[in-house]
Amino acid sequence: MIKFHPSSEQIKEFVEGTLSPATSLMVSAHCDMCEKCQKQVELQTELLAAEMVSSFERQSASNSDFDSMLAEITQMPSSRETDGYLSTSQNDEFGYGDKAFGATTIELDGRSFMLPRTLHRYIDKTGNWSSLVGKLWQAPVDLGNQGVANFIYMGQGGSVPEHTHRGTEYTLVIDGEFSDGLSHYDTGDFIFMDGDKTHTPKADTKEGCLVFSIVDQPLHFTSGLARLLNPFSHLFFR
């Protein structure tokens, strides 16, 4: 059951197109998996459309001008008509255009993981899996200049050493569940971390856990020998 969602303000800014591209990507992917947030996006879209119509009506110099602007609005594609939940302008900003994407899964050690629709476009931008510490695997994802992204898989008992963040980290649980000393997260959960929080993500279930994560600065390890990794943390989560 999904317990962690984008904030109401993030949903509103997502619809308005004012979120950063990387955050919009994460919100979009979460909405692919979360019916509750899909409905919030639809509601905010309706409210934004009503505000635009009201604003055009007040500012229109004549009925013909208003009719023309209203016609342009009604011809705009809805969020349902775009690829995933990204708007047309956001798709263009990422360089996706109208390209059709066929692959829907990524594979690791003989297992296939179904990705939310928004992330299908990144399958051919995902690098090879590499083993990190313990039962931890990482596959880098090329986002261009929008941030550092990785698919991270934690096998049963696998964990990321205790750390905080020099910047921000957005994580979406793609498959499975994990705990981090702060809470327990399940498939579809949308997680935000910054320098105010210290955590130790760990997967305890037999199936392990796959997440998609975007960070804007390297992790900062805070406990034991892992602190020796800090000068090289950009090599592990790049």
SS3 content of the chain, % helix, strand, coil (to 5): 40, 25, 40
Burial letters 10-49, b for 16+ CB under 10 A, else e = bbbbbbeeebebbbbbbbbbbbbbbeebbebbeebbeeee
Q: Can you give the pLDDT at residue 225?
A: 45
Name the pLDDT band for 228 (thresholds 50, 70, 90): very low
pLDDT tens by residue, 182-196: 999 999 999 998 878
Q: Can you give the pLDDT at residue 183?
A: 94
Q: Can you give the pLDDT at residue 177?
A: 97
How far apart CA 73 and CA 130 sit, in angstroms, is 47
Answer whether residue 226 shows pLDDT above 90.
Answer: no
Averaged pLDDT for residues 22-45:
96
Q: What fold characterizes domain 105-236?
A: Jelly Rolls (2.60.120)
Contact of 170 with 23, CB cutoff 8 Å: yes
pLDDT tens by residue, 39-71: 999 999 999 888 888 777 667 655 555 566 666
Q: Can you give the pLDDT at residue 13?
A: 95
Give the residue extent of every domain in the chain.
Answer: 8-94, 105-236
Q: Can you give the pLDDT at residue 89?
A: 37
Contact of 182 with 193, CB cutoff 8 Å: no
Q: Can you give the pLDDT at residue 75?
A: 61
Q: Can you give the pLDDT at residue 79?
A: 45
Name the pLDDT band for 147 (thresholds 50, 70, 90): confident
Name the pLDDT band for 152 (thresholds 50, 70, 90): very high
